[in-house]
Structure formats: C-alpha cells, structure tokens
Structure 1
Amino acid sequence: MMTLGNARITSAAAPAAFFARWADMATWPEWNADTEWVRLDGPFATGSTGVLKPKGAPRTKFVIAALSDSEFTDVSLLLGARLTFHHLVGAAPAGGSDVQVSVTLAGPLARVWNLILGKGIKETLQRDLESLRAVAEAASEARA
C-alpha cells in the first residue's frame, strides 16, 4: 500500500457538520474541485455503493467501507487497485473539529495508478479539505 497524501484542518464546525457534507454527495463538487458529480446508490451507510465522475477521467465505482461517528472511509474500485480516502473527525480541544484525511492506493496496479492520479491528489487534498471546512462552517453559521 502506498500513501498519496495526508491533509489536516481544525474547524469551528462540529464533527456532525462534516458528516452532513459527506453524506450529501451531490454537493461534493462545491468543495472538491476535482469532482464533476457523485451519485450514491442507497443510504449513507457502510456497504453502500455509488459512482463518481472525476473531472477529465472516467466514471468510477466506489463503496463506503467504514462509517461511524468519527470515521468515513470510501474506496474507489480502480482496475487492479483500490483508492482509499480515510476521513477521521474528532472534537478539537478548544471546541469544533479536528479533521484528518489520508489517501492510499493498494493493489497490483497501484504504481500505475499512482503515476496517473498521485500528483493531482497530493496537490489538491489540502485545498479540498480547506474548501470543505468553509462549506461546513457556513452551514453551521446558517443554522445558528
């Protein structure tokens, strides 16, 4: 398994605000600049599947591999590899949230996929997480 990137933020928004954004997959393009669209074929729950369309790339099937009150892991099923986005969310010491995202590739064609995707993911992961923070905080302020 190889790590493509890691990102971390703290936010004034509660952990639930991040899970609300992740669950509303149709809105992912609002904060994820590399995503054209996402469709979840069922509830936001462990084992649910869907399809996403990265910009400039073919549609990709994914599965929600883990979901709890502190974790959301989705796995894109690539030819000969699995691209895993592992999200951890916890309460920050001063209130709000601490959010971490790591992206890994595994499988016999992982090195090939790293050449195709690795640089782009590494370059945009932190930016996309910061955009997600802005959306989660704006939604939290609107409810307050």
Structure 2
Amino acid sequence: MWEYEHSIETTAGRDALWELWADVARWPDWNAGVATIRADGPFAVGTRITMTPPGEDAVELRLAEVEPGALFIDVMDAGDFTVRTTHRLTTLDGGRTRIGYRTEIDGPAADRVGPELGPAITADFPDVLAALAALAESRAPR
C-alpha cells in the first residue's frame, strides 16, 4: 500500500469548508487541479464524480462515505488498484479547523503503481488546502 497525508489549520469554520466541498461544480474555484467536474447526483454516498484535470483524461470517483460537516471519502477503482482519499475536518481549540487529506493506494498493483501515481495525485495537496482555506476564510462574517 502507498499512502500520503497532508493537513493545515484555518480560522474558517467547518460549515464554511463543508459548503465548499459539497458544491462539487465549484471545486475549480479553489482547486487548480480540476479543469472540469460533474457529479451524477447529490453529495451523498454512491454519487459518481467525473473530474478532468487540466490537460489530462477524465477520472471517475465514487463517494464511498459522507459525514456532513466532518468528512467524505472518494474512491477511484482502477481494477488492480484503488485510490481512496479521505477529506476530514476537525474542530480545534480557539475556533480553528484542521483540514486533512489522506490518500491510500491499495490492491495487487499498489506497490508498482503507488510510487508513481501517488505523488502525482497528492503533489498539489498543500496548494489545494491553502486555496480552500483562503476561500472559506474570505466568506466568513467579519
């Protein structure tokens, strides 16, 4: 199995961050790694999301777990390997929130595919989380 995790802290509240996550059509507003995106249903378990990174082929994800205001997990099943990303919000002291992303690549081909694909998938996590936090913070009441 291959795995990577990154998190940051923000002054944005969980509700503001969750609102941005649940509005799939607007992910390109804070994620430069998304050129186009489409969900085939509501932000709920079983919904399929088709995401196209800039200059690349579309990737299909399925929402495997959704806990509103707390976390969601998306899964890409490639047959001989699976990419599973957990997106988690944790309330901290002082009104802060930790945003965490954790990606795991598992399955028979994970040892071969993970070291190449994993870093390509997760390289932008610091920028994505920073942009998500900044947008959520900018929407907070002053």
- TM-score between the two structures when normalised by the length of structure 2: 0.88
| Cα shift readout 1:40-76 (whole Å, capped 9, x = no counterpart) | 1101111211211122321111111111131111112
- Note the C-alpha offset of 1:79: 4.3
Q: Does 1:135 pair with 2:135?
A: yes
Which residue in the other structure is 2:36 paired with?
37
The answer to whether the 8 A contact 1:31-1:131 is kept is yes
Would the aligned equivalents of 2:89 and 2:98 in 1 still touch at CA under 8 Å? yes
- Contact 1:50–1:63 (CA under 8 A) maintained in structure 2: yes
Instruction: Show CA shifts across 1:85-125 (max 9, x none).
Output: 10111211110311111111112232443354222234211
Partner SS, residue 65 of structure 1: strand
Task: Output the CA distance in 1 between the equivalents of 2:114 and 2:134.
Answer: 29
3-state SS in 2 of match to 1:47: coil
For residues 17-48 of structure 1, the C-alpha deviation after alignment (integer angstroms, 9 at most, x for no partner) is 11111111112122222221111110111121
Unaligned runs of 5+ in 2: none
| Identity level (%) | 28
Offset at 1:139?
2.1
Count of matched residue pairs: 141
Contact 2:62 2:74 in 1 (8 A): yes
1:25 partnered with 2:24 = yes
| Kept in 2: contact 1:60–1:78 (CA 8 A) | no
Please tell me the residue identity of whatever aligns with 1:43: P
Which moves more between the two structures, 47-56 or 14-23?
A: 47-56
Indicate the SS of the match to 2:44. coil
TM-score (norm 1): 0.87
CA distance in 2, matches of 1:56, 1:67: 29
